[in-house]
A and B are shown apart, each in its own frame.
Chain A
């Protein structure tokens, strides 16, 4: 559904996005993760047609997004912070969306607002950040998009709001086969929510796989070595932490061969300790430095 092919975007001489390719099949949720400033928002802006790529292309349903109103009418975009006209009231924004998107369903919006309860007459600049985000989400869901793009949708939200947002996204995928692209810092949520993940570093793709896939490759192994050992010649090790004879070995390329190597080096006990996506992310970022 969404095909980002060899996307490169530069600001002057600075390459914010460097040859990134991502494919998001219909009805799936794809997460983009990475540190601040790594290029997540730039990619999102290319996907929503705000920027034109310097190289590469973004295709949605086979068509180029850029300056393509027909395709853009099927994309909902929820920005990381308010980008609506500050003095407009909630009902003005509803009217605005209605006048731009043919598929906007006011009834659908009202149903959603029955839950979120945003006052119609409140101006955008009087809404809290969480409320602004919920408004954006409601408006964009009410257009019944085929693709929903969200930039840090849960940042700054309280636990209840986060749950409400997540539920809405789940509903869209389950009921309408909506295709979702999310960028976020909240890896624990993404871990459960996403089918696939792309981890970015310096504008380039570092890991790209299903969550299961990443966890199958990036593992933390706990090994006991009765005598001190030098592991620097073992390939695929990201990091080693040692407490006494217990070694915590992080690898980003887990294979049976690696295990055999460790046994060969004298490991007495070797077991796998699970890592959450958050930890994986931290170790990968650390390695960069």
Chain B
């Protein structure tokens, strides 16, 4: 968790967001668990505090975490996360298109997707 991969094309703040979301999915992070302050997180990962702040802002926007003034940042209820299904599907469309263009079998693609979903459970 929270392993920043520099050689990835994914921006650092996004990696942090994904990390937190994964943590919640796998049960490592439960509702009400406190997260380190922006400054602490930046220090832990040796990153720019603005990047840390950006990731928290994004997570809060998505309803994963909640910040209470004076108390800190915590994992939220996550029950009312608004995941727009159609929007999400659109975002994987280009990936799927590319896979198909390059000749990957439809069966293989579906198997690959299932594998990832299993890992998350």
Q: Do chains A and B touch in the complex (CB under 8 A)?
A: yes
Q: A-side interface residues toward B, CB under 8 Å?
A: 27-29, 163, 166-167, 170-171, 173-175, 188-189, 191-195, 211-212, 215-216, 219, 263, 268-270, 272-277, 279
Which segment of B37-45, B59-67, B79-87 sits at the interface? B37-45
Distance, CA A119 to CA B12, complexed state (A) = 39
B46 at interface by CB-CB < 8 Å:
yes
A170's partner among B4, B8, B9, B49 (CB-CB below 8 A) is B49
Interface SS of chain A: helix
B72 at interface by CB-CB < 8 Å:
no
Distance, CA A268 to CA B103, complexed state (A) = 8
Docked-complex contact B47 and A28, CB < 8 angstroms: no
Question: Of all chain A residues, which has the CB nearest B94?
Answer: A256
Q: A268-B102, A268-B103 are in contact. Are A192 and B48 (CB under 8 A)?
A: yes
Docked-complex contact B6 and A191, CB < 8 angstroms: yes
Chain B nearest Cβ from A258, distance in angstroms: 14
Docked-complex contact A212 and B7, CB < 8 angstroms: no
Docked-complex contact B39 and A175, CB < 8 angstroms: yes
User: Chain B, interface size: which category?
Assistant: 20 to 34
Docked-complex contact A194 and B103, CB < 8 angstroms: no
B43's partner among A29, A167, A188, A274 (CB-CB below 8 A) is A167
Docked-complex contact B39 and A174, CB < 8 angstroms: yes
A174's partner among B4, B42, B46 (CB-CB below 8 A) is B42
Chain A residues positioned under 8 Å from B43 (CB to CB): 166-167, 170-171
Docked-complex contact A170 and B11, CB < 8 angstroms: no
Docked-complex contact A173 and B9, CB < 8 angstroms: no
B1 at interface by CB-CB < 8 Å:
no
Docked-complex contact B50 and A219, CB < 8 angstroms: no
Docked-complex contact B47 and A193, CB < 8 angstroms: yes
Docked-complex contact A274 and B8, CB < 8 angstroms: yes
B114 at interface by CB-CB < 8 Å:
no
Docked-complex contact A274 and B7, CB < 8 angstroms: yes
Q: A192-B47, A195-B50, A269-B102 are in contact. Are A170 and B7 (CB under 8 A)?
A: no
B116 at interface by CB-CB < 8 Å:
no
Question: Of all chain A residues, which has the CB nearest B38?
Answer: A174
B5 at interface by CB-CB < 8 Å:
yes
Docked-complex contact A27 and B50, CB < 8 angstroms: yes
Chain B nearest Cβ from A195, distance in angstroms: 6
Chain A nearest Cβ from B95, distance in angstroms: 11
Question: Of all chain B residues, which has the CB nearest A168?
Answer: B43
Docked-complex contact A193 and B50, CB < 8 angstroms: no
Which among B8, B11, B49, B103 has the highest number of chain A CB atoms within 10 Å? B49
Which among A192, A263, A275 has the highest number of chain B CB atoms within 10 Å? A192
B92 at interface by CB-CB < 8 Å:
no
A to B CB contacts below 8 Å, 20 in the list: A28-B50, A29-B48, A167-B43, A170-B39, A171-B39, A188-B6, A191-B6, A192-B12, A192-B46, A192-B47, A192-B48, A195-B50, A212-B11, A215-B9, A215-B11, A219-B9, A263-B101, A268-B103, A272-B9, A273-B7
